[in-house]
Amino acid sequence: MQGFAGFMWLLFMAMLVLAVVALVMAVTFREDAYRAADKQTKNFWLIILGIVVLVNLVVPMLFLQIAGLIATIVFFVDVRPALQQVTGGGRGRRGGSSSDGPYGPYNGGR
């Protein structure tokens, strides 16, 4: 594989990997986090990203793959950060314990 064909194969593989990673991330978040973040439901994103993975594997049509890439990018740039903010995941949380409240540690009224 050289030249343009090699480049296209590499591009298709990159789109497939991104779609699979987005699908795995969508599976890991809880259903209530999607509602709390005011995003579409978990099932919606699982169906959309599942179709994207299927299209990338089965139907090598660039138009459909680009539409799937757009859905994947939307998940990564809009939905995932909102879900992380709602669930407390990501870089914003540093340490702490299960008894920490929003304004610091809860000490039981001592």
Q: What is the pLDDT along the chain (110 residues), one digit of tens a residue?
A: 688 888 888 989 999 999 999 999 999 999 999 999 999 999 999 999 999 999 999 987 889 999 999 999 999 999 999 999 998 876 544 555 566 666 666 666 55
21 CA to centre of own chain: 7
With CA atoms as reference, report the closest residue to 28 among 70, 84, 72: 84
The alpha carbon of 26 is separated from its chain's Cα centroid by a whole number of angstroms, namely 5
